[in-house]
Structure 1
Amino acid sequence: MTTEPRSSLEIERKYDVEAATAVPDWSTLPGVASVGEPEPRELDARYLDTADGRLAEALTALRRRTGGPDAGWHVKRSTPEGKLETHWPLDDADESAPVEVPEAIIAELAEVAQPPFEVIARIRNSRTAFALLDAEGGMVAEFVDDRVTATDERSGRTTSWREWELELGPAAPSTAAGVAELFAAADELVASVGGAPAASESKLGRALGR
């Protein structure tokens, strides 16, 4: 793997919703003028860690995901500002073969964990994404409606649920006050249709019962 990785900071809000919960009108959020057409995505991710959970201990997640516009390898680190994600393109591995972590990613993780890495969870997600746009067509945020099936590979336990995510985009508010106002309005909108802030910080955490 020779392509240089790219990094981005994800600032998002996650919500737990029931299977039949109606999607609210996101165009009522501050700064949002319109909602783009739904974009379906079928995502399949395998998450890895060491046998003794060194990555989890370092608040870091490693996954290889197929499907969607950001298919590839991802290292996600939790920070006070949000989740710092570093992304590499997919390798040419046989999808039916055991997952092997590329050397570039092993080097990236060297300060917190050493191989061998093993698959700890598989998360499959039928996602529908919507761009929330301002009056000039800039993306204020992306809303995704996720229907998730996850398997804890160590215990064999499989769970399914539905959740929503709202992730800030390039045209999001530029101040902390503006971001807080946007997310507060989103919280109210989700509550109005029966949803609530997610009980688990991540899909991986929920898959593993954390």
Structure 2
Amino acid sequence: MHHSQIEIERKYDVDENATPPRLVGAGAVAIESEPSTAELVALYIDTDELALAQQKVAVRIRRGGADEGWHVKLPGDEGRIELHWPLGDADEPPAELLDMLRERIGDAHLQPIARVTNRRITTILQDAAGFALAEFCDDHVEGENLRNGNTGSWREWEVELLGGAPDTREARTALLDEIERRLLDAGAVVSASSSKLARTLGL
């Protein structure tokens, strides 16, 4: 069985020397948690022709962190739809996941296309009542393109809304805008790449 959620996030490119800003006071943010660090390793799969990437779909198996397992990201109206399955015993995708992909790729063979290793430092942003509004991630990323052997490393900041985020699209956008102002002031720029996978593959 899988579960799904809407992923609403913004990504920023930042150089190695940048210091994350204080985010208390951005919108309703009243509390910043102590940062926690996790080592995440994600292996992405697709067809030889990148049929999934062309449909703006990403499939990965990720180890490490709180949400390790199989993930499928699909385009959505606001943000992206993320489906999640537990790791299971094998490196094979769950049958339900494979069935879903067959509708998109037919009989094409799936293979590993990229490996992304990420040392992620996460801070939870809460309101005065302690509800989690968003998470701020300071990501130190290494991407390996398994199709041509190219590698690259970079740092990015990511802000993703959590369950306590405002319940209207307008208010969610306003909160993200407030946080964004502080990040840009700290030297970040809005990411030119839509995802770590796209950057690794040079798409």
| TM-score category (smaller protein) | over 0.9
* The one of 175, 178, 181 aligned to 1:182: 175
Task: List per-residue Cα deviations over 1:137-191 (Å, max 9, x = no partner).
Answer: 1001011110000100011001000001101111111122211211211221111
What's the secondary structure of 1:41's corresponding residue?
Answer: strand
What's the secondary structure of 2:21's corresponding residue?
Answer: coil
Give yes or no for the alignment of 1:48 onto 2:45: yes
Q: Which residue of structure 2 lines up, in the alignment, with residue 196 of structure 1?
A: 189
Gaps of 5+ in 2: none
CA contact (8 A) 1:145 1:163 kept: yes
* The one of 154, 165, 171 aligned to 2:164: 171
Backbone CA RMSD of aligned residues: 1.1
Moved segments of 4+, more than 6 Å: none
User: Once the 2 structures are TM-superposed, how far is the Cα of residue 20 of structure 1 from its aligned partner?
Assistant: 1.1
The CA distance in 1 between the partners of 2:71 and 2:117, in whole Å, is: 16
Give yes or no for the alignment of 1:38 onto 2:31: no
User: Once the 2 structures are TM-superposed, how far is the Cα of residue 75 of structure 1 from its aligned partner?
Assistant: 0.6
- What's the TM-score, normalizing by structure 2? 0.96
Give yes or no for the alignment of 1:151 onto 2:175: no
CA contact (8 A) 1:127 1:147 kept: yes
Give yes or no for the alignment of 1:113 onto 2:110: no
The CA distance in 2 between the partners of 1:161 and 1:18, in whole Å, is: 8
Give yes or no for the alignment of 1:100 onto 2:92: yes
Deviation larger for 152-161 or 177-186: 177-186
Q: Which residue of structure 1 lines up, in the alignment, with residue 88 of structure 2?
A: 91
The CA distance in 2 between the partners of 1:150 and 1:139, in whole Å, is: 30
The CA distance in 2 between the partners of 1:122 and 1:107, in whole Å, is: 23
Gaps of 5+ in 1: 94-98
User: Once the 2 structures are TM-superposed, how far is the Cα of residue 102 of structure 1 from its aligned partner?
Assistant: 3.0
CA contact (8 A) 1:101 1:117 kept: no
CA contact (8 A) 2:85 2:94 kept: no
CA contact (8 A) 1:9 1:82 kept: yes
Q: Supply the AA of the counterpart residue of 1:108.
A: M
Q: Supply the AA of the counterpart residue of 2:120.
A: R
Q: Indicate how the Cα distance of structure 1 residues 73 and 5 shifts in structure 2: closer, same or farther if over 3 A, else same.
A: same
Q: Which residue of structure 2 lines up, in the alignment, with residue 96 of structure 1?
A: none
What is the total number of aligned residue pairs between the two structures? 202
User: Once the 2 structures are TM-superposed, how far is the Cα of residue 104 of structure 1 from its aligned partner?
Assistant: 2.1
